[in-house]
């Protein structure tokens, strides 16, 4: 899924569950669960060659910027001090994709990451249909914004 979906979900779970013993496994589980749904993201088309790697990297940085702004508005503004749970949850929500980034963007995969990335790949279902792949994610963002 898009980083926006994973960061908002991670922040939401962490701020709702509050304790790391609860939210760390929940955030990781949410990543694999969300990736299981057919979705569109900036990596869609990379393996088939329909999207160029440098294009995906630029889109990813734009998307991380959007994620940061949304996290700021939904979880940080109005909170006294740094809302650590939100930022930690958001970061954890991206860890499986960070671990896969060297393989996807640099064509380099350290051996110790291979089983983790294969586990990730087992859950990952993407669709080239943007509308089908984005609609559930936009609904997710609105629900999280509304609940937060
Ligand atoms: Zn993923």
* pLDDT tens-place string over residues 40-55: 998 888 888 888 989 9
CA of 38 to the centre of ligand 1 (A): 12
CA of 15 to the centre of ligand 1 (A): 21
Specify whether the CB–CB gap between 132 and 43 falls below 8 A: no
Mean pLDDT of the chain: 95
User: How much is the pTM?
Assistant: 0.94
Question: Is the model's pLDDT at 17 over the cut of 90?
Answer: yes
At residue 117, the pLDDT reads: 96
Rounded Cα distance, 48 and 73, in Å: 36
At residue 49, the pLDDT reads: 84
Cβ count within 10 A of residue 107: 8
CA of 2 to the centre of ligand 1 (A): 8
Euclidean distance between the first and final Cα of the chain, in Å?
Answer: 21
At residue 105, the pLDDT reads: 84
At residue 96, the pLDDT reads: 97
Confidence of residue 108 (pLDDT cuts 50, 70, 90): very high
Question: Is the model's pLDDT at 78 over the cut of 90?
Answer: yes
């Amino acid at each position: 899924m898009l980083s926006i979906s994973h960061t908002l979900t991670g922040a939401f779970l962490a701020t709702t569950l509050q304790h790391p013993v609860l939210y760390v496994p929940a955030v990781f589980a949410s990543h694999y669960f969300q990736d299981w749904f057919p979705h569109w993201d900036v990596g869609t088309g990379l393996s088939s060659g329909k999207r160029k790697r440098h294009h995906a990297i630029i889109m990813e940085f734009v998307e991380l910027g959007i994620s940061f702004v949304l996290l700021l508005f939904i979880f940080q503004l109005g909170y006294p001090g740094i809302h650590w749970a939100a930022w930690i949850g958001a970061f954890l929500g991206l860890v499986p994709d960070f671990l896969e980034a060297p393989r996807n963007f640099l064509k380099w995969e350290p051996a110790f990451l291979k089983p983790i990335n294969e586990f990730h790949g087992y859950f990952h279902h993407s669709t080239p249909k943007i509308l089908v792949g984005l609609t559930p994610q936009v609904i997710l963002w609105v629900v999280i914004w509304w609940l937060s």
